[in-house]
Chain A
Amino acid sequence: MADVTIPPVIHLRGLEKRFGIGDAEHSAIDHINLTIKKGEFVAIMGPSGCGKTTLLNILGLLDRSFDGDYELDGQSVDTISKRKQARIRSQQIGFVFQNFNLVPRLSVIENVALPLIYKGIIRTKRLKIASEILRNFHLNEREYYMPHQLSGGQTQRVAIARALVNEPSIILADEPTGNLDSRASHIIMEELSDLHKRGNTIIMVTHNPRLTTYASRVITMLDGRIDTDTKSHIAPQKNRRHKKPVRKTKRNKK
């Protein structure tokens, strides 16, 4: 009953994404059917070039030119206006890009505060919130650095902080720990699993099989298709909790 009344957060039917034309045409995503329910923590794995980023771009409403059906919260995205899509990106979706995509001319704190602009939050409040979340990621000393002054790992943490600053209910993270050592990776993963436990939906691309232990479901892709899917909804992280040397990060809300 509940399954009928509450639509899945993400429902893909025959999703296809082709690049190029004529002979050069190839499918980056080849007929994917996928349903993700609210509160799932999905890890997506797969070899380079199998279409993971392409999939996330579609899920994040950035890429609108695809074939097949994508329903977000039960509504087909074709029928959602651009303005509404922008609002969804602003209020519901947090995106961590594979290549971070910080704005080079803005400082770290301004980059993190960027999504809050479009929620209509005033500057002082924005900076306060951004500063708080940067503290959680141990970046409070780098607030006024420019992106080019950061190390790869710091850049990545800023990108994650920016994705989470909006308190989105869907988090799309494209290799959020690619540049981090295992200790730093686990800080991030703790943060994500914390959000997961609070009922948010997380879709994370990773190449590190050890990190999939945080996930409730692991999907592997191959050549634009879903290869394997654990479909397990039992959160395995309970017993696989790593001995954490890191202190528990706290997101003080309000």
Chain B
Amino acid sequence: MRFLLLNHAQNAYQSLRSSRVRSFLTMLGVTIGIASITAILALSSGASKIISDQISSVGGNIAVIRPGTTTDPIASITQSGLNRDYAASTLTEADITYITNITNVRSIAPLMVLSGTIKADSVAPINSPIVASTPSLADISNLQLREGQFLDNGINQNVVVVGSDLSVNVFGTESSIGRILSIHNQSFTVIGILKKLNDPMNYNSVDFDNTAIINFASGKKLNNNVAQIQQINVKTKPDTDLKATISDISKALVNSHAGEHDFSILTGEQIAKPTSQLFYAIAGGSTAIAAVSLIVGGIGIMNIMLVTVAERTREIGIRKALGASNSDISWQFLIESLAISLGGGISGYICGYILAFGISHFLTFDPAFSWEIVAIALTISVVMGTLFGLYPAMRAARKDPIESLYQV
């Protein structure tokens, strides 16, 4: 059997080579499909890697609480925009107090992301986020200052810490300490400028380079005295059991929410799931391309294999006459279709990475390599080759030897 498989592989190679253009065109469908999938996966694992690196760089003992129960990435494509601006958050200020009182929690930073006009000398770009949070955000999210200081519980007036790009955008300079920034027509004094981070991809889903960070209380005031909390970042004490702490938090929150489990607590990998909309737009688009081209590619394989089987009817008759069994014949054609789909898969994997590196020029992170992506690309191609090659192979095997031999 092993010999036969090897032989069929040699035979498939020979046969594909003898009709190069045809084989190439057939592979193309699979190549495009696998390339899109590889690109999505390479980019998404690149994004996840960045975020998990961030989390481990701050000690790894981070949990993120978000309103709502959904962790489904597809749902978050459609909901993230809504959540942020309009829908009432299920997280409350009281929750913050409860969580702060849990034993192993070291620090906690609620995140209230607002939108609104930021201006000084000039107006900041429309989407520059306004983040209202607490001083511990710097520690939890590893924010470092270029100049000045971060928010401080001692300073209660309207102060703001600005991202370096925002500073340039509104003041025309990175050094803007002490200057006045107008947010929602309220005046805020700049007390600190963040170091350029250059990663809009992070678990806060906030591009800190373009952000104005204000005190939580000020943020609430801007938001008609409603605390609209999109996310609570919790950092636990080092060397404590993160899982146990999470279950404590969960209990406390369910209690304070009158028994309702209307929030989700994410850790490690879960946080690392990319949340950027750009990312989901790309991923959604390429998944659609991938699915369509895989189906079209599969049909192409089936089509070409049916043609091949018809062309080789006589050969099938000869082979059977010389002792080939039905399964020998079906393996011969199945392996040929597998060779097409695997060839397409391998070239798709390569093209996928070329594509991913191309796209990553417009993003702030690089695609990542992992054996899982290789495995997925290979599995999909093998499944496709089998799925779409099976019917032609069966048809070949079922041919009657004598009728095949006398077919002209």
Cross-chain contact A117 with B321 (CB below 8 angstroms): no
Cross-chain contact B326 with A86 (CB below 8 angstroms): yes
Stretch from A87-95, A179-187, A201-209, A233-241 at the B interface? A87-95
Number of chain A interface residues as a range: 20 to 34
B324 close to A (CB within 8 Å): yes
Given A103-B318, A105-B15, A123-B10, check contact A118 B402 (CB 8 Å): no
A48 close to B (CB within 8 Å): no
8 Å CB contacts to B: which residues of A148-200?
A: 162, 166
* A13 contacts across to B, CB distance below 8 A: none
8 Å CB contacts to A: which residues of B299-328?
A: 314-315, 317-328
A139 → chain B closest CB, angstroms: 18
Cross-chain contact A114 with B319 (CB below 8 angstroms): yes
* B4 contacts across to A, CB distance below 8 A: 117-118, 120
A80 close to B (CB within 8 Å): no
B62 → chain A closest CB, angstroms: 59
Cross-chain contact A62 with B322 (CB below 8 angstroms): no
Measured in the bound complex, the distance between the Cα atoms of B322 and A114 in whole Å is 7
B13 → chain A closest CB, angstroms: 12
Where the two chains meet, the residues of B that have a C-beta atom closer than 8 Å to any C-beta of A are 1, 3-4, 6-7, 10, 15, 18, 314-315, 317-328, 401-402, 405
Cross-chain contact B405 with A83 (CB below 8 angstroms): no
Measured in the bound complex, the distance between the Cα atoms of B82 and A133 in whole Å is 79
Measured in the bound complex, the distance between the Cα atoms of B317 and A53 in whole Å is 15
Measured in the bound complex, the distance between the Cα atoms of B325 and A89 in whole Å is 9
Cross-chain contact A89 with B402 (CB below 8 angstroms): no
A97 close to B (CB within 8 Å): yes
Cross-chain contact A119 with B315 (CB below 8 angstroms): no
Given A101-B318, A123-B6, check contact A63 B402 (CB 8 Å): yes
A1 close to B (CB within 8 Å): no
A69 → chain B closest CB, angstroms: 19
A121 close to B (CB within 8 Å): yes
Cross-chain contact A120 with B3 (CB below 8 angstroms): yes
Measured in the bound complex, the distance between the Cα atoms of B3 and A62 in whole Å is 25
**Contact sample, A vs B, 22 pairs, CB 8 Å cutoff:** A57-B402, A62-B401, A82-B325, A86-B325, A86-B326, A89-B320, A90-B323, A91-B323, A95-B322, A101-B318, A102-B318, A103-B318, A105-B315, A114-B318, A114-B319, A117-B4, A117-B324, A118-B322, A118-B325, A122-B3, A123-B6, A162-B322
Given A57-B402, A62-B405, A123-B10, check contact A101 B3 (CB 8 Å): no
Given A105-B15, A123-B6, check contact A87 B325 (CB 8 Å): yes
Cross-chain contact A62 with B321 (CB below 8 angstroms): yes
Given A103-B315, A123-B6, check contact A97 B405 (CB 8 Å): yes
Given A101-B318, A123-B10, check contact A83 B401 (CB 8 Å): no
Cross-chain contact B326 with A82 (CB below 8 angstroms): yes
Cross-chain contact A101 with B405 (CB below 8 angstroms): yes
* B317 contacts across to A, CB distance below 8 A: 101
Given A103-B315, A103-B318, check contact A119 B402 (CB 8 Å): no
Which chain B residue has the least Cβ–Cβ distance from A107? Answer: B14
Measured in the bound complex, the distance between the Cα atoms of B321 and A120 in whole Å is 16
A2 → chain B closest CB, angstroms: 30
Cross-chain contact A86 with B402 (CB below 8 angstroms): no
Cross-chain contact A115 with B323 (CB below 8 angstroms): yes
Cross-chain contact B326 with A166 (CB below 8 angstroms): no
Where the two chains meet, the residues of A that have a C-beta atom closer than 8 Å to any C-beta of B are 57, 60, 62-63, 82-83, 86-87, 89-91, 93, 95, 97, 101-103, 105, 114-115, 117-123, 162, 166
Given A89-B321, A89-B323, A166-B323, check contact A117 B402 (CB 8 Å): no
Measured in the bound complex, the distance between the Cα atoms of B326 and A122 in whole Å is 20
Measured in the bound complex, the distance between the Cα atoms of B405 and A57 in whole Å is 11
Measured in the bound complex, the distance between the Cα atoms of B320 and A62 in whole Å is 8
* B318 contacts across to A, CB distance below 8 A: 101-103, 114
* B405 contacts across to A, CB distance below 8 A: 62, 97, 101
Cross-chain contact B402 with A105 (CB below 8 angstroms): no
Measured in the bound complex, the distance between the Cα atoms of B15 and A246 in whole Å is 39
**One of A62, A83, A90 near B326 (C-beta < 8 A):** A83
Report the 3 A-B pairs with minimum CB-CB distance, sorted nearest first: A90-B323, A86-B325, A118-B323
* B6 contacts across to A, CB distance below 8 A: 122-123
* A83 contacts across to B, CB distance below 8 A: 325-327
Which chain B residue has the least Cβ–Cβ distance from A53? Answer: B406
Cross-chain contact A121 with B3 (CB below 8 angstroms): yes
Extra A-B contacts (7), CB below 8 Å, given A86-B325, A95-B321, A118-B328: A62-B401, A82-B326, A83-B325, A97-B405, A115-B322, A117-B324, A119-B323
* A101 contacts across to B, CB distance below 8 A: 314, 317-318, 321, 405
B103 → chain A closest CB, angstroms: 70
Measured in the bound complex, the distance between the Cα atoms of B322 and A166 in whole Å is 9
Measured in the bound complex, the distance between the Cα atoms of B328 and A118 in whole Å is 8
Cross-chain contact A118 with B324 (CB below 8 angstroms): yes
Measured in the bound complex, the distance between the Cα atoms of B4 and A102 in whole Å is 20
B90 → chain A closest CB, angstroms: 66
